């Protein structure tokens, strides 16, 4: 009696099998690629969120404020965000040309940036004429103008009372904006002049006379020689007196 054996093909050594795990992996990979290719964050929600964020940030700021937000990249491949959170990078204030950050936490975290411009318009001071160094300013020496403050240097003064009576630290050309750093307060105490000196304790104040040994504006340090020859240190007051500190 003849018996016949059925032979089955053997897997070749080193040839990977075609099991279900490989099929699932390939399916996941193709799904990820397809999802990435179709991902898109609409521009309008980003731009509206940045506009509202900046409007909140400038609340209470003096002057006429205008906010412009650039278009967010319409060709982006970012996953659509369920919760948009705008922010300003550390050290950046809502003034002039800025980059506003956009943070998304869900469904997939990402961060992007949108360019914007915050324009602030209002009054500012300029020199009404060429000013010399160490010159005391009068009302006729300054002029109020209107313009974009966000396009000017920092610390530009906005009212005449901020400058009148102050001393220029250096020369200023006619028409140049006046900044706080350009001016200093006039001296309240002059070197060699007699000054009234004061010292305070708990429940008492003692006053006397002395001689100032240096010029000083209000709040600046002064050396004073007392009648007995002792030299003490104090702080100049706006009224020309000196508050001593022992």
Domain that holds residue 144: 121-184
Residues 205 and 240 reside in one and the same domain: yes
Measured CA to CA, the distance from residue 60 to residue 68 in angstroms comes to: 18
How much is the pLDDT for 32? 40
pLDDT of residue 202: 78
How confident is the model at residue 22, as a pLDDT? 55
Domain count, the chain: 3
Q: Which residues contact 214 (CB under 8 A, 6 or more apart)?
A: 189, 191, 222, 223
What is the DSSP-derived secondary structure letter of residue 123? E
The answer to the question of residue 128 being in a domain is: yes
The pLDDT score that the predictor gives to residue 245 is 74
pLDDT score at 246: 57
CA distances from 176 to 49, 117, 142, 167, 182 (A): 38, 24, 10, 16, 11
This prediction's pTM: 0.67
Residues of the chain with pLDDT under 70: 1-38, 246
pLDDT at 216: 92
Same domain for 55 and 92? yes
pLDDT at 8: 39
Query: CA–CA separation, 158 vs 144, rounded Å?
Result: 7
Quick one: 135 and 176 in the same domain?
Answer: yes
Query: Is 93 within the bounds of a domain?
Result: yes
Give SS3 for 29.
Answer: helix
Cα distance between residue 160 and residue 144, in whole Å: 7
Query: How many residues appear in the chain?
Result: 246
């Amino acid at each position: 009696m003849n018996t016949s054996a059925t032979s089955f093909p053997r897997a070749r050594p080193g040839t990977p099998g075609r099991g279900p795990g490989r099929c699932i992996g390939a399916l996941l990979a193709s799904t990820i690629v397809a999802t990435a290719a179709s991902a898109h964050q609409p521009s309008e929600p980003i731009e509206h969120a940045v506009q509202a964020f900046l409007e909140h940030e400038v609340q209470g700021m003096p002057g006429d404020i205008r906010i412009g937000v650039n278009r967010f990249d319409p060709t982006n491949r970012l996953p659509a965000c369920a919760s948009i959170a705008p922010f300003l990078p550390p050290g950046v204030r809502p003034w002039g040309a800025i980059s506003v950050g956009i943070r998304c936490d869900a469904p997939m975290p990402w961060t992007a940036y949108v360019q914007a411009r915050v324009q602030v318009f209002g009054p500012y001071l300029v020199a009404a004429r060429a000013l010399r160094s160490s010159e005391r300013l009068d009302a006729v020496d300054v002029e109020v103008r209107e313009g974009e403050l966000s396009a000017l240097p920092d610390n530009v003064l906005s009212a005449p009372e901020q400058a009148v009576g102050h001393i220029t630290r250096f020369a200023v050309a006619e028409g140049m904006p006046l900044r706080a750093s350009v001016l200093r307060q006039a001296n309240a105490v002059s070197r060699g002049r007699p000054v009234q000196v004061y010292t305070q304790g708990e429940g008492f104040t003692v006053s006397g006379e002395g001689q100032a040994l240096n010029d000083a504006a209000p709040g600046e340090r002064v050396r004073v020689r007392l009648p007995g020859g002792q030299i003490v240190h104090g702080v100049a007051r706006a009224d020309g007196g000196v508050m001593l500190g022992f």
